[in-house]
């Protein structure tokens, strides 16, 4: 089989933004095999290097590149990876180290299911959210990690060193996306104590402030107060989806209500990042405003799976603990007790 490699390097160019319109033509760079190769088996591969820039976000369309096999986003200022990450089915190597990431999308697990292709994920250092040490469950897990036994829960369909550890308490949001119940999520600060999201493009070492309690295994998420939970979308949700579809997220919201304007601004921001509506991680429906969200901690030692080792070094287990963000479209879209 003949491999044709297309390598694109945009390192150290002080890029602050890369749009979906920039990414879209990259698929056409790898077309049908040339005429002189027409009788050979043709396997195109795309390697994209965007390290050492000042990117704050990347478009979801990047993960729709069919032939993308290597992606390096090392040493940028990216705060969140799009949910579309799970669509990069041919991705073999990923480098997202040295950014401002607090978690990765839950859809990352799609890349790890057997049979898998991805062989290398470099994700540290980042400012990932950790379970607070005061959490009894977290302390027990750490104790097991130190002993090197009973580390997490092996999940069917994943390689040997991919384990589910536990989750945070569920955060419930109102129709405008404001938190009504659940833990506050920590923010990333720089070495001078200023929030990462408000920084200029200068290089500073980021540090993590705070953490989140891990929920007990038998925790059953309950909505705020005695309000009934429903799968039905709110009027805000339906109107926001219509507005995003009609304006393609380009027009300004014409309203004098600050809360509504902020809601639409955040929805448009997510829409631009994902280049689509997000999907609920429970019922798979599309949504504009998340009504629930929670963090799951997994041990993902993907770089060691092919090493032949059957045991896990305690320090590696802690370093390989990764927070994955899950979001739901309704108050009924929550984790089950059995999980």
| pTM recorded for the entire structure | 0.83
- Contact assessment for residue 236 and residue 226, using Cβ atoms and an 8 Å cutoff: no
How many Cα atoms within 13 Å fall on the side-chain side of residue 72?
15
How high is the pLDDT of residue 159?
64
Query: How many whole angstroms separate alpha carbon 223 and alpha carbon 110?
Result: 29
| Helices 235-247, 258-274: crossing angle, 10 deg rounding | 60
Q: Lowest-pLDDT range, 93-102, 184-193, 260-269? A: 184-193
Most confident listed range (44-48, 111-115, 310-314): 44-48
pLDDT digits (tens, 9 = 90+) for 151-184: 456 566 666 678 888 899 999 999 999 999 999 9
pLDDT band at 5 (very low <50, low <70, confident <90, very high): confident
For the chain, the average pLDDT equals 79
DSSP 242: H
How high is the pLDDT of residue 205?
41
DSSP three-state, residue 270: helix
Q: Are strands 321-328 and 104-105 parallel, antiparallel or unpaired?
A: parallel
Residue whose C-alpha is closest to residue 212's, from 139, 298, 135, 141: 135
**Neighbouring-strand partners of residue 84:** none
The CA distances from residue 57 to 61, 128, 141, 270, in Å, are 12, 17, 33, 10
Query: How many whole angstroms separate alpha carbon 333 and alpha carbon 335?
Result: 7
pLDDT band at 268 (very low <50, low <70, confident <90, very high): confident
- Please tell me which residue, 260 or 120, carries the higher pLDDT value: 120
Residue whose C-alpha is closest to residue 33's, from 62, 11, 63, 3: 3
Q: Which residues contact 115 (CB under 8 A, 6 or more apart)?
A: none
Over residues 68-95, mean pLDDT: 94
Please return the burial class of 15, using the count of CB atoms within 10 Å of its CB with bins 0-12, 13-18 and 19+.
middle
Residue 44 has pLDDT above 60, yes or no: yes
Q: Using the structure block, give the residue that is written with the tokens 């990932």.
A: 128
DSSP three-state, residue 21: helix
């Amino acid at each position: 089989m003949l491999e044709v490699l297309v390598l694109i390097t945009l390192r150290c160019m002080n890029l602050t933004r890369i749009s979906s319109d920039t990414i879209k033509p990259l698929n056409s760079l790898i077309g049908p095999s040339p005429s002189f190769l027409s009788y050979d088996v043709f396997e195109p591969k795309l390697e994209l290097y965007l390290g050492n820039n000042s990117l704050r976000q990347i478009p979801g369309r990047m993960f729709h590149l069919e032939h993308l096999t290597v992606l390096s986003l090392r040493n940028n200022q990216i705060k969140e990876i799009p949910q579309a990450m799970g669509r990069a089915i041919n991705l073999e190597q990923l480098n997202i180290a040295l950014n401002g990431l607090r978690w990765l999308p839950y859809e990352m697990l799609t890349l790890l299911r057997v049979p898998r292709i991805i062989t290398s994920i470099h994700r540290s250092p980042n400012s990932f959210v950790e379970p607070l040490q005061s959490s009894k469950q977290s302390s027990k897990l750490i104790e097991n990690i130190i002993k090197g036994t009973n580390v997490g829960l092996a999940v069917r369909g994943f390689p040997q060193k991919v384990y589910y550890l536990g989750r945070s308490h569920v955060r419930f949001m109102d129709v405008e996306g404001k938190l009504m119940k659940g833990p506050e999520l920590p923010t990333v600060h720089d070495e001078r104590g200023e929030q990462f999201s408000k920084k200029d493009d200068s290089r500073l070492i980021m540090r993590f402030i705070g953490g989140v309690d891990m929920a007990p295994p038998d925790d059953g998420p309950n909505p705020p107060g005695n309000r009934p939970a429903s799968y039905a979308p709110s009027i805000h949700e339906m109107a926001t989806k219509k507005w995003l579809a009609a304006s393609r997220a380009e027009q300004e919201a014409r309203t004098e209500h600050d809360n509504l304007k902020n809601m639409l601004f955040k929805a448009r921001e997510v829409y631009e990042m994902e280049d689509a509506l997000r999907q609920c991680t429970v019922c798979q429906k599309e949504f504009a405003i998340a009504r629930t969200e929670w963090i799951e901690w997994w041990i993902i030692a993907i770089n060691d799976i092919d090493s032949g080792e059957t045991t896990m070094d305690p320090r590696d287990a802690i370093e390989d603990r990764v927070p994955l963000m899950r979001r739901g479209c309704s108050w009924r879209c929550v984790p089950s007790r059995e999980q």
